[in-house]
Structure 1
Amino acid sequence: MLNYVLKHTNLPQKSIKNTLALLAEDCTIPFISRYRKEMTGNLDEVQIEQIVLFKEQFETLEKRKATILKAIEEQGELSSDLSSKISAAENLTILEDLYLPYKKKRKTKAETARKNGLEPFAKIIMSQNTRDLESSAQRFVSKEVPSIDDALEGARHIIAEWINERTDIRNTIRNEFERHAIISTKVVKAKAEDEKAQKFRDYFKWDEPLSRCPSHRLLAILRAEKEGFIRVKVEIDTQRILDRIDHRIIKSKGACADQIQLAITDAYKRLLYPALSNERLVDAKKKADETAITIFAKNLKQLLLGSPLGEKRILAIDPGFRTGCKVVCLDAQGGFLYNETIFPHPPKSDEAGTIKTIERLVSKYDIEAIAIGNGTASRETEAIVKRIGFKNKIQIFVVSEAGASIYSASKIAREEFPDFDVTVRGAISIGRRLADPLAELVKIDAKSIGVGQYQHDVDQGQLQRSLDNVVSNCVNAVGVNINTASVPLLSSVSGIGAKLAENIVTYREENGAFNSRTEIKKVPRLGGKAFEQGAGFLRIKNGDNPLDDSSVHPERYKLVQQIAKDLKLNISEIIGNSALLKSIPLKNYCSEEIGLLTLKDIITELEKPGLDIREPAKVFEFNQSIRTIDDLKIGQILPGIVNNITAFGCFVDVGIKESGLIHVSNMADTFVKDVNEHVQLQQQITVKVLEVDVKRKRIQLKLEK
């Protein structure tokens, strides 16, 4: 396993070896990257995830090898040479090629020919030594093989299968597909005028080298094919491939060569091309999936680590026209206080009543900030709220509603607020999302948040794994207040999981707030391993020990106590004293277990314990004169917020229903390899309007520096 992982990564051998050992001890990725830096050589989460990925690939490969070896051995066909080749196979493709001749097949033309006794005749042809092929064929004519032509045909079927099973030939064709394959599309005429098909119109007739087809385009093409609007082919130069196979197999001229040539053509068209063209498309799809998932994961990370307002009393509004705007008031910890519906917009247009209600609620609940969902009627509601002359300064934010409707109808929301309907739950989610995006977004299926592209077309298992890792890494990077965290948030803490998260919340409800990390051990079924993995990421505000509100792991408390003792101070006296902490001779505290990497982390944390790594939320102002796409003019310079990132650019909210696209070509004066290097999700930017297509609701923008 070590050699396999080493070969597939550029990581140091010692780091891989120690990481594999930690994984074998059921240590989690966040715990390893944060608290075992000396062992791993300071590997980060992404590098450790790489090791985990190749570890699992190796285990899958070894399991498949064992299955294949057993199957071939049971057939009595396992030679020492074949066993060695199987054991040495470095990937599943090589392995399956080796197994192909021994794999149990459904009834094939070659199998029928063998049963009819034609395999010896096929060998005669392949020897290419027979001058009188018809005489040889006559010997195999029988009741099941009534003529010479039937004997030749049956032999060709067997030869075609042999050709199909040759690893060298398969690899030659694979290489050709890899380098020269063309993907082409053709519209299904009966569907050409279908309204749903129009978004795929660009691919009604399309072709390009498959190796150059970008991820988003390939996924769009495959979706169009899946929905029945187009047909897709992956092709290479057939004659060139046939010539190359001929050259490998045919060593003479005459009747045998002619029969082999026919078998080669049959093998390619009937067996090799369908299998290997599909294999090439599957490989291309896999790479496209990986690209799309990587973009989705980056977007999700940026969204989860979005700027929190923090513990503020919030009035949240889920805007709407006909059904009104749902208003809720939340305390500083996100607890529900009150809800009401207001009707500032048509058909009721009760603007005066709306203003009066908001003023009353702001005063009654000491509201510090207002969160307005960015959906229908958002700009109209924002305009009314901003006209209110509040006595105290109230910050007004427009908050993304992405996924709020998913949460409001979920089991989690029903359990949290069983007495309220989906509209009230949605408003609560909007308010809580302003206070702490991470804590609220972990309650929503990440695929439903809408920060990616083609997330329902990619490998769902791979996507889920990637997104789960992102959520876990973000939650553990920020840390979790154990006395206020929900079950979904606690579930993502290293070593905890769903069941222990429920037990923590139940214990908290029955016994009150936790006062120390040590008390966490009293939670039913939370054993030593779970405590070791999770304690450093669980925070306790105003607890018995100031270190409990930091990322210093309990296993290092004695070290901190020793440092404080050597300084002749209490722990509380050294926390936050940056000058003093920086003067500590760290080398004096190094040991076999504790190195400078861990010591530097501890000192950094003691300087600013519990510091949130996220930037605080900032109020953003759209251009108030822009309300609909009709208000846009070419050349306008506008403020906007990045609300989605794709492989070909990013989408920007400029304060209207339709988001504008900054194509990669309009993002910088130089080539843009990675959109994320130029913009971040939820980033506040300035854009220039390049093109407005009102009919198609499309807006082209340029990033202004």
Structure 2
Amino acid sequence: MISFIQTKTQLPESSIKNTIALLNEDCTIPFISRYRKERTGNLDEVQIGDIVKYKEEFEALEKRKTAILKALEEQDVLTTELKTKIEKAQDLTTLEDLYLPFKKKRKTKAETARKNGLEPLAKIIMSQNASNIEAIAFKYVKGEINSVDDALEGARHIIAEWINERTDIRNNLRNQLERYAMISTKVIKTKEEEEKAQKFRDYFDWEESLNRIPSHRLLAILRAETEGFIRVKIEIDKERALQKIENRVIKSNNACAEQIEIAIADAYKRLLLPSLSNEALQHAKDKADEAAIQVFAKNLKQLLLGSPIGQKRVLAIDPGFRTGCKVVCLDAQGQLKYNETIYPHPPKNDSIGAMKKISSLADAYKIEAIAIGNGTASRETEALIRKIHFKNDIQVFVVSEAGASIYSASKIAREEFPDYDVTVRGSVSIGRRLQDPLAELVKIDAKSIGVGQYQHDVDQTKLQKQLDVVVENCVNAVGVNINTASKSLLSYVSGIGPKLAENIFKYRNENGVFASRNEIKKVPRLGNKAFEQGAAFLRVKDAKNPLDNSAVHPESYKIVQKMAKDLNTSVEDLIGNTDLLKQINLKNYSSATIGLFTLEDIIKELEKPGLDIREEAKVFTFNQNIKTINDLREGQLLPGIVNNITNFGCFVDVGIKESGLIHVSNLSDAFVKDVNEHVHLHQQIIVKVLEVDVVRKRIQLKLHH
């Protein structure tokens, strides 16, 4: 396993060995990457994630080897040579090729020919030294076989199967598919005019190299095929492929060779190409999935680590026209204090009443910030709010409401607000997203947040796994206040999970707030392992021991106490005191288990304990003159917010219904390798309008530097 993982990752052997040992002890990735740097050689969570991935890949390979060896033993066909080859196989493709000749087959043409006694004839043809093959074939005309032609055809079916099962031939063809395969599409004529088909117009007649096709295009083509609008074909140069097989198989120039040539063409068309072109397409799809999942993961990470305004009193509005705007007031902890509906927009147009209402609520609940959802009627509501003269300085934010409707109808929302309907819950979610995006977004299935491309077309298990890892890493990177966190947030803390999160929640409700980290051990079923994995990511504000509100692990408290003692000061006075911290010689505190990596982390944490790694939220205003796509003109410079990132560019909200696209080529004058290096989600940028297609509702933009 170690050498398999090392080949794939190029990481040092000792790092891999120790990481696997920690994983086998049920340690989590955030815990290992943060608190076991000495053992892993300072691997980060991405490298540890890779070790986990290849460990699972290796285990799956070993499991398949065991199953195949057992099947071959049962069939009594397992030779020493075959066993060695199977044990040495480094990937599933090689393994399945070795197993192919022995696989239980459904009724094939070759199987029928064997039953009719034609295998000896096939062997004679393959030996390629019989001169009058028809005369020999005549001996096999009996039973089901009515003529020499029948006999030769049956023998060719057996030869075609032998050719199909040859590993060298399969690998050669794989190699050609990998390098030269073309993917082409044709529209299904009867579907061409359907409205749904129009978004796939570009692929009605398309061709490009399979190993160069970008992931988003391949996924779009496969979706169009699944929906029944196009046919997809994978092809290589047939003449060249046949020639390569003939060179490997045909060694003479007689009637046998002619029969083999026909069998090769049949094997290629009927067996090799269909199976190997499917395999090549699946490989390309896996690669495209991988790329799309990576884009999604990066976007999700940026979204979860979005800027919080922190514990401030918020008035949140879920805007709407006919149904009105749902308004809620939240306290600094995100608790709902008041809710009401106002109707400032058509058809009721009660803008005066609405402004008065908002103004009086802002006073009554000492509101510090206003959050407006970015859906229908968002711009109109924002314009209304900006007309109000508030007594105090109130910041106004437009908040993405992606997935808010999913949250408001969820079991979590029903538990939090059993007495309120979905509209009120949706507004609360918008307000809380402003206070702390991470704490609110973890309540929604990451796939519903709507950042990414073709998320329903990629491998769902792989996607879910990757997104769970991202959420877990983000939650643990920020840390969680154990006394205010929801069950959803707690469940992502290293070592905790849904069951213990439930128990923490119950304990808190029955016994009041946790006064220290040590008290966490009183939670039912929370044993030493869970405490070791999770304690340092759980923060206790205003605890007696100030380290309880830091990322210092309880196992290192003694070291910090010793540092303070050696400096003749208390832990409280050491925290945040840069001058004192600079005097510490870390080598004096290094031991077999805690080395310089961990000690440097401790000092960093003592400088700014519990510091939030996220930026602070900034207010943003769209151009108030741009209300619909018809107001856009080429050359305009506009403020915008990045609302989605893909491999081919990023989408930008400029304050109207349609998002504009900055194609990757318009992000910079230099070559752009990774879109994320130039922009990040929710970044406030200035864009230049390049082109507006009102009919197709498409806006092309350029990043203005």
Please give the TM-score of this superposition, normalised by the length of structure 2. 0.99
Q: 3-state SS of the aligned residue for 2:372?
A: strand
What is the CA deviation profile of residues 240-293 of structure 1, one whole-angstrom value per residue up to 9, with x for unaligned ones? 100110010000011100110111011000000000010000000000000000
User: What is the RMSD of the two structures over their aligned residues, measured on CA atoms?
Assistant: 0.7
| Corresponding position of 1:243 | 243
Can you list the C-alpha shifts for 1:284-336, whole angstroms capped at 9, x where unaligned?
00000000000000000000000000000000000000000000000101011
Distance 1:135 1:658 in 2: 76
Give the AA of the match of 1:132: N
2:36 aligns with 36
* 1:516 equivalent in structure 2: 516
| Rounded Cα–Cα distance in structure 2 between residues aligned with 1:145 and 1:66 | 41
Deviation at 1:421, TM superposition (A): 1.0
Tell me if 1:479 matches 2:458. no
Question: Pairwise mapping of residues 565-604 of structure 1 onto structure 2 (< 5 A)?
Answer: 565-604=565-604
1:568 Cα deviation from its structure 2 partner? 1.4
1:138 positional shift: 1.8
Which residue in the other structure is 1:389 paired with?
Answer: 389
Question: 1:182 aligns to what?
Answer: 182
> Are the counterparts in 1 of residues 480 and 490 from structure 2 also a CA contact under 8 Å?
yes
Secondary structure in structure 2 of the residue aligned to 1:212: coil
Aligned to 2:621: 621
Counterpart for residue 219 of structure 1? 219
Deviation (angstroms), 1:8 = 0.5
- Report the counterpart of residue 415 of structure 2 in structure 1: 415
In the alignment, structure 1 segments of 5+ residues that lack a partner are none
Aligned to 1:639: 639
Q: Which residue of 1 aligns with 2:58?
A: 58
> In 2, Cα distance between the equivalents of 1:450 and 1:170?
41
- Give secondary structure in 1 for the equivalent of 2:207: strand
Q: Deviations over 1:562-607 (max 9, x none)?
A: 1111111111010110121122001100011111110010011011
Q: For the residues of structure 2 that align with 1:128 and 1:201, how far apart are their CA atoms?
A: 52
> What residue in structure 2 maps to residue 14 of structure 1?
14
The alignment partner of 1:443 has SS state of coil
Instruction: Report the Cα offset of residue 418 of structure 1.
Output: 1.1
Which runs of structure 2 are paired with 1:203-282 in the superposition (5 Å)?
203-282=203-282
Determine the C-alpha separation between the residues in 1 that align with 2:146 and 2:582.
Answer: 95
Alignment of 1:143-182 (within 5 A): 143-182=143-182
Separation (CA, whole Å) in 2 of partners of 1:536 and 1:154? 71
Further displaced range: 287-296 or 627-636: 627-636
Counterpart residue identity of residue 339, structure 2: N
Instruction: Give the match for residue 316 of structure 1.
Output: 316
Give the Cα separation in 1 of the matches to 2:250 and 2:286: 36
Offset of residue 149 of structure 1: 1.1
Letter of the 1:41 counterpart: G
CA distance in 1, matches of 2:617, 2:428: 18
Summarize the alignment of residues 194-205 of structure 1 with structure 2, pairs less than 5 Å apart.
194-205=194-205
Letter of the 2:202 counterpart: D
**Residue 368 of structure 1 corresponds to which residue in structure 2?**
368
Q: Secondary structure at the match of 1:662?
A: strand
- Secondary structure of the equivalent of 2:655? coil
Query: What residue number does 2:140 align with?
Result: 140
For residues 321 and 618 of structure 1, the distance between their equivalents in structure 2, rounded to whole angstroms, comes to: 27
Q: Percent identity?
A: 74
Distance 2:208 2:679 in 1: 29
Q: Aligned partners of 1:194 and 1:533: how far apart in 2?
A: 55
Tell me, which stretches of 5 or more residues in structure 2 are unaligned?
Answer: none
Q: C-alpha offsets along residues 161-205 of structure 1, whole Å, 9 cap, x if unaligned?
A: 000000000001101100000100000111111101100000000
Q: Secondary structure at the match of 2:662?
A: strand
Tell which deviates more after alignment, 412-421 or 452-461. 412-421
AA of the residue aligned to 2:200 = F
Residues 38-64 of structure 1 deviation map (CA, whole Å, 9 limit, x = unaligned): 111111110000000000000000000
- Structure 1: how far apart are the matches of 2:582 and 2:112? 82
Aligned residues of 2:184 and 2:233 also touching (Cα < 8 A): yes
Per-residue CA deviation, residues 4-47 of structure 1 (Å, 9 max, x unaligned), is: 00010121111111101101111000000000001111111100
Match of 1:97 in 2: 97
Measured in 2, the distance between the counterparts of 1:148 and 1:541 equals: 91
Partner of 2:67: 67
1:420 and 1:632 mapped to 2: Cα distance?
41
- CA deviation string 1:454-482 (max 9, x = no partner): 00000000000010000000000000001
Give the secondary-structure state (helix, strand or coil) at the position aligned to 1:525: coil
- Whole-angstrom CA distance in 2 between matches of 1:655 and 1:599: 48
Give the deviation of 1:414 after TM superposition.
1.0
What CA distance in whole angstroms lies between the structure 2 residues aligned with 1:579 and 1:669? 46
Whole-angstrom distance in 2 between the partners of 1:265 and 1:362? 80
1:400 aligns to 2:420 (yes or no): no
The question of 1:23 aligning with 2:35 is answered no
SS in 2 for 1:692: strand
Contact 2:116 2:143 in 1 (8 A): no
Compute the displacement of 1:144 (Å). Answer: 2.2
Amino acid at match of 2:245: I
1:341-383 CA distance string (max 9 Å, x none): 0000011111111011111111111110000001100010001
Distance 1:26 1:55 in 2: 14
Q: Using structure 1 for the length normalisation, give the TM-score.
A: 0.99
Count of residue pairs the alignment pairs up: 705
TM-superposition CA deviations, 1:532-554 (whole Å, max 9, x none): 10011000011121101000001
Q: Distance in 1 between matches of 2:155 and 2:71?
A: 27
Instruction: Work out the CA distance in 2 between the residues paired with 1:443 and 1:190.
Output: 44
Shift of 1:146: 2.1
Superposition misfits of 4+ residues, deviation over 3 angstroms: none
- CA distance, structure 1, for counterparts of residue 188 and residue 220 of structure 2: 16
Aligned-partner Cα distance in 1 for 2:42–2:625: 51
Letter in 2 for 1:397: F
2:607 maps to which residue? 607
